[in-house]
Structure 1
Amino acid sequence: MTHTYQLEGMTCGSCENKVRSALLQMESVESVDVSKENNSATISMAKHIPLAKLQSQLAGVGAQYRINAQQHSETVETARSWLATYKPVLLIFVYIFTVTGLIELTSADLQWGRWMRHFMAGFFLVFSFFKMLNLQGFKDSYRMYDVIARKFPAWGYIYAFTELLLGIAFLVNFNPVITNTVTLIVMSVSIVGVLQTVLNKKAIKCACLGDVFNLPMSTVTIIEDGLMIAMSAGMLVLAI
């Protein structure tokens, strides 16, 4: 469900970021959109959160922020099927798999190692692109579950650029041992927070595609990270 509230006290972009970050840290909150121009906050949540609880959360970042229901509106979203929910990420995987597969099929010789390298390049370049569209939004969403970003929020920015650099490294075949080792470490750390979230059955938005799509954290995210770990480990073995 999505609720829109009147929110007073925001005077600048920094205020918007503080409010957004604070609300995103609440359990059951999936996405947040705030506007100082409209004095509003639109919150998507897995289950209803009392107004008093929202206000209490905001009080922790500034007494000037006041949320109320004077101009409150509620939109109950129609339940989507599993396929409809994960359509964006599934399409991306199909596109990358198909394009890299065709590249390999048109080559003089079929090499699984080369195909995996191209697939990894496509994966990191595409996923980092969506994160770059709204770095602040990605950082806020990522810190809700990542073990490093929770303690060091700036890791969200670093992670997005790390994905971009890994994509370029795989594309140009830069030192396979270093590239795959870094990938293995980064993705192994990333999957820890994902596993904790899914196993604890927390309703949290997955930040894999940045802040563009509202994808819930689930076993799909585990499979996605697990696939990258397995492929980087396999390529590392081939490179050694």
Structure 2
Amino acid sequence: MSDNPSHKKREKNRGGELKDYWSLFSLILITAAAGTAITWNVQGGWLQWMHYFMGFFLCCFAMLKIFNLSAFADGFQMYDLIAKHSRAYAYIYPFIELGLGLSFLSFLAPAVTYSVTIIVMIIGTLGVVSALRKDLDINCPCMGSVLDVPLSTVTLTEDVGMGVMAVVMLTLTPGIM
């Protein structure tokens, strides 16, 4: 990978300031607010909120990737374990994410939705860890090519957080297990 000119070692201080992640944080805050708004007067509490948050989050992030599929695929192939070997997967991934988001929002097959989310997030986490260990300076494809956010521990936290929420929902949602 070191002979690939499309990425390089991380520049000093890149990703070191809160402003470097404002676009990501704003999307997270907006999806959290949307999840709160839709569950405000609905029974189900925080578990229901997580469900809607994940739905909005995945749909928003899929949309950013779909804006420019080719650019997303270029970035995704730099670190994702499957996309490195299959450009087709890099093109399909945003639609997997969109399908998961819509499944969360519609409560379609929750056990399958949670399980697929866990698998996708584990694969994503492993790819991010690998890229971070190599200290690669690449933009996080999670935001598509629309927003300039470096791949970092924030990306890792996002993948791990979504995986953990899916595990919590899988284990605590009544009637799932």
SS in 2 for 1:84: helix
The higher-RCO structure (CA 8 Å, 6+ apart) is 2
1:26-62 superposed Cα distances (whole Å, 9 cap, x missing partner): 3318xxxxxxxxxxxxxxx949xxxxxxxxxxxxxxx
Q: Distance in 2 between matches of 1:135 and 1:93?
A: 22
SS in 2 for 1:155: helix
- Find out whether 1:231 has 2:165 as its counterpart: yes
Whether the 8 Å CA contact 1:100–1:118 is kept in 2: the answer is yes
Q: Distance in 2 between matches of 1:127 and 1:24?
A: 27
Structure 1 unaligned residues grouped into runs of 5+: 1-22, 30-44, 48-77
- Find out whether 1:28 has 2:8 as its counterpart: yes
- C-alpha spacing 1:79/1:220, structure 2 compared with 1 (3 Å): closer
Bigger Rg over Cα: 1
The code of the aligned residue for 1:175 comes to: A
The code of the aligned residue for 2:101 comes to: G
1:8-23 to 2 correspondences below 5 Å: none
Q: Distance in 1 between matches of 2:14 and 2:169?
A: 40
Q: Of 130, 141, 156, which residue of structure 2 is paired with 1:196?
A: 130
1:42-191 to 2 correspondences below 5 Å: 46=11, 82-107=17-42, 109-191=43-125
Percent identical among aligned pairs is 34
Root-mean-square deviation (CA), in Å?
Answer: 2.2
Higher strand proportion: 1
SS in 2 for 1:236: helix
SS in 2 for 1:216: coil
SS in 1 for 2:143: coil
Q: Distance in 2 between matches of 1:81 and 1:201?
A: 14
SS in 1 for 2:137: coil
Q: Distance in 1 between matches of 2:23 and 2:146?
A: 10
Q: Distance in 2 between matches of 1:201 and 1:97?
A: 30
Higher helix proportion: 2
- TM-score under structure 2 normalisation? 0.89
Structure 2 unaligned residues grouped into runs of 5+: none
Q: Distance in 1 between matches of 2:22 and 2:7?
A: 25
Moved over 3 A (4+): 23-27, 78-81
For this pair of structures, how many residues does the alignment match? 172
SS in 2 for 1:205: coil
Q: Distance in 2 between matches of 1:188 and 1:146?
A: 11
